[in-house]
Amino acid sequence: MSDTALHLNAARYTWGGDEFLFVEIAEGMSLAANFKANAMAAALGSRKLPGITDICPANASLLIRFNPDDLPPNALEEAVRGVEAEVAQMSQHTLQTRIIEVPVWYDDPYTRETGARFRSGHQRPEGNDLDFAAQENNLASPAEFISRHHESPWLVSMVGFVAGLPFMFQIVPQDQQLEVPKYLSPRTDTPALTVGHGGCFACIYSVRGAGGYQMFGIAAAPIFDPAQRLSNFDDFMIFFKPGDIVKFKPVDETEYRHIQELVADGSFTYRQAPVVFDLEQALAHPTEYNQEIMEHLNGH
Amino acid sequence: MAIKITEPGLATTVQDTGRPGYYHVGIPQGGSMDQLSAEMANALVGNTPAEAVLECTYIGPRFTTDADAVIAVAGAPVDVLVNGTPREQWTRLELVAGDEVSFGMIHAGTRYYIAVQGGIDVPVVLGSRSTYALGAMGGFEGRTLKAGDTLDIGAAGSERHASAADFIDESLRPTFAKEITVRVMPGLYDHRLTEEGLDTLFSATWKLTPVADRTGLRYSGPSVSWKPRVQPFGAGSDPSNIVDAGYAIGSIQIPGGKEPIVLHRDAVSGGGYAMVATVISSDMDLLARSAPGTRTTFTPVTMEEALAARAEGKEIRSRIWGSAGQ
């Protein structure tokens, strides 16, 4: 394993004013960089240093908020550098996590209508975001793009932007990553639960609002529930955590409506299963390993 | 005891000192934009600094009380009216049941704060009463106020905090200037700007545009140039793009090299635009007080200077609260 996570160069440390320390693990995105970000966040959290208010692991970086009255900046930096060295010594790169099936109605009328409203400023004014994404990735059709989107699982690499929005990175080799530019100018409206994509990242918008990612479909069930009505939200109003693995499941309108009814009567629960994610295996045998992870959902 | 809102104002919300600890899931710190003004309002009515207040933006609410009450208005200069009669800001106002409070035009700045003895009693969500409107949580039903809303006042109203100030001395009151200098610490991704671009950021006068809310403030001025480069994998094609990362509150991003945006208390917690400097913690209130059109200079300071400014802020607070406070 010493060839993956440990192959990253030392991180770059920089201050965001007097209350934030920013640690850039890598400039580019990779599973290894994300793994290091999450491992550092976990190790720092377990030290329970007084004066740290927020530890925010991101795709390939880490943002830490602290109170300099309680924890001098130098002491914080020293502690985080210590954590970085500790993570570099890790001999096992596995993650105790879960795989979750997320039903999505691809090419749905809601995101299509929203896309049409913001078409005039789009890179490709004709067609819709799916047509654009298929073309950008040299695929034969939007249907092929949709298949590629849900065939392989995604790792939740960061949670944020707005309440509980997951950024996801597909667990496939770099040459198979789907890449799409963001909107030239961000939209002022995006339907809640829109499945979006920008750069190499997928997301699910947790609430209605602004957004710059291309829109491909709509998830059928909530991922943010401030009233904690559904049982998946018993512990917390936000569903996703960094490290979660997502398998999108395409559904048609009938199934989408059925899920909406289950959500309305409070009986919907996400299908999910515990899984141990092994970074070495994911990097060494991506296709086989993905099949193996997805089988956990079927109880194998 | 309760107050009844008869007119909501433009964007009146319940706010307190904020909701730290949930930024890693995209829930911002929130809280009063101008923390010092809100704290002064609380001090005047004998609350603790943690009590929830009403934050009024430009146009305040009209409301009545159903019992005797003690209120104070601090922050941006505004005409305060009780039953149509002008009253003072920066001091305690005693109301009797049925009194109607309303506001005239704001004379400078953007936001003022109404504290009620006892505090606005809405449910505590994740440790705070602050409204996070985008997430429809906290505050009064997770939203800005509407006509007809009735806000409960906390029981603390019966006992005045020992440190209550009778009025805020003029020398301590914040100012609401049309021209300000905001101290920032360069960093994060400042190395991605050209030397000329960085010079422009710190030497130009930036004008606050009307695109300014609790999430962030957008400025107009000259363009700044980014160094041309081969973009890292996953970042996006523009040189101002980065692989999506956590955003420091107060950080300045300049999408495409035009119109810097400074994130504020309801900041989005992450995204793909490079940040090039961060407003120091003690100048966040100053930023919150500026109205569209405010001519703003961003001046670079060191960590030591930022910490010294922070200590000065604490000194002002201890003068408001005296030895009995906090």
> DSSP readout, A217-277?
EEESS-SB-TT--SGGGSS-SB---TT-EEEEEE--HHHHHHHHHHHHTT-----EEEEEE
CA B227, CA B15: separation in Å to the nearest integer? 41
Neighbours of A182 (CB within 10 A): 22
pLDDT value for B322: 74
Neighbours of A117 (CB within 10 A): 10
| Segment A169-199, tens digit of pLDDT | 999 999 999 999 888 878 989 999 999 999 9
What is the distance, to the nearest Å, from the Cα of residue A222 to the centroid of all Cα atoms in its chain? Answer: 16
Contacts of B275 in chain A (CB under 8 A): 16
CB B239 within 8 A of CB B227: yes
Which residues are A160's β-sheet partners? none
Contacts of A68 in chain B (CB under 8 A): 307, 310
Selecting from B21, B235, B243 the residue whose C-beta is nearest the C-beta of A54 gives B21
Selecting from A57, A68, A167 the residue whose C-beta is nearest the C-beta of B244 gives A167
Inter-chain CB proximity A158 and B271 less than 8 Å:
no
pLDDT value for A3: 45
Give the model's confidence band at A131: pLDDT under 50 very low, under 70 low, under 90 confident, else very high.
very high
- How far from B133 is each of A295, B12, B214, CA to CA, in Å? 40, 11, 10
End-to-end CA distance of chain B: 26
Interface test with B, best of A24, A48, A56, A64 (most B CBs within 10 A): A56
Residue B157, by phi and psi: left (phi above 0), alpha (psi -120 to 50) or beta? alpha
Residue A164 to chain B, least CA–CA distance (Å): 5
Packed helices B303-321 and B35-45: angle between N→C axes, nearest 10 degrees: 20
Residue in chain B closest to A186 (alpha carbons) equals: B255
Model-level pTM? 0.94
Selecting from B184, B271, B279 the residue whose C-beta is nearest the C-beta of A161 gives B271
Neighbours of A76 (CB within 10 A): 22
Q: In a 10 Å sphere around its CB, with 0-12 CB exposed, 13-18 middle and 19+ buried, how is residue A139 labelled? A: middle
CA B11, CA B4: separation in Å to the nearest integer? 16
Structure-token match 């960089």, residue found: A33
A283: contact with B, CB 8 A cutoff: no
Length of chain B: 326
Inter-chain CB proximity A226 and B125 less than 8 Å:
yes
What is the distance, to the nearest Å, from the Cα of residue A3 to the centroid of all Cα atoms in its chain? Answer: 24
- Kindly tell me if the per-residue pLDDT of A2 is higher than 80: no
Contacts of B134 in chain A (CB under 8 A): 162-163, 207, 209
Take residue A5 and report the two structure tokens written for it: 């996570």
CA dihedral B43, B47, B51, B55 (to 10 degrees): -50
pLDDT value for B162: 55
CA A262, CA A279: separation in Å to the nearest integer? 36
Q: Do the strands B62-65 and B100-106 form a parallel or antiparallel pair, or are they unpaired?
A: antiparallel
pLDDT value for B161: 57
Contacts of B281 in chain A (CB under 8 A): 17-19
A41, amino acid identity = A
CA A31, CA A37: separation in Å to the nearest integer? 10
Contacts of A166 in chain B (CB under 8 A): none
Contacts of A162 in chain B (CB under 8 A): 26, 134-135, 268-269
Interface of A with B in 220-239 (CB under 8 A): 224, 226, 237-238
DSSP 3-state assignment of B203?
A: helix
Take residue A98 and report the two structure tokens written for it: 């879960």
CA dihedral B160, B162, B165, B171 (to 10 degrees): -150
Inter-chain CB proximity B134 and A165 less than 8 Å:
no
Mean pLDDT of all residues belonging to chain B: 94
pLDDT value for B326: 43
| Segment B252-276, tens digit of pLDDT | 999 888 899 999 999 999 999 999 9
Inter-chain CB proximity A198 and B236 less than 8 Å:
yes
HSE-CB of B189 using CA atoms within 13 angstroms: 27
Interface test with A, best of B243, B278, B298, B312 (most A CBs within 10 A): B243
- Kindly tell me if the per-residue pLDDT of B17 is higher than 70: yes
Mean pLDDT of all residues belonging to chain A: 94
CB B232 within 8 A of CB B272: no
Q: Report the greatest alpha carbon distance in chain A.
A: 58
- Kindly tell me if the per-residue pLDDT of B159 is higher than 60: no
Inter-chain CB proximity A54 and B244 less than 8 Å:
no
Selecting from B187, B243, B244 the residue whose C-beta is nearest the C-beta of A15 gives B187
Q: Where are the alpha helices (DSSP H) in chain A?
A: 31-47, 73-88, 109-117, 129-136, 142-151, 253-264, 279-284, 286-295
- Kindly tell me if the per-residue pLDDT of A133 is higher than 90: yes
- Ranked by mean pLDDT, the top range of A286-295, B156-165, B215-224 is B215-224
A238, amino acid identity = I
Residue B66 to chain A, least CA–CA distance (Å): 30
Selecting from A17, A73, A199 the residue whose C-beta is nearest the C-beta of B250 gives A17
End-to-end CA distance of chain A: 26
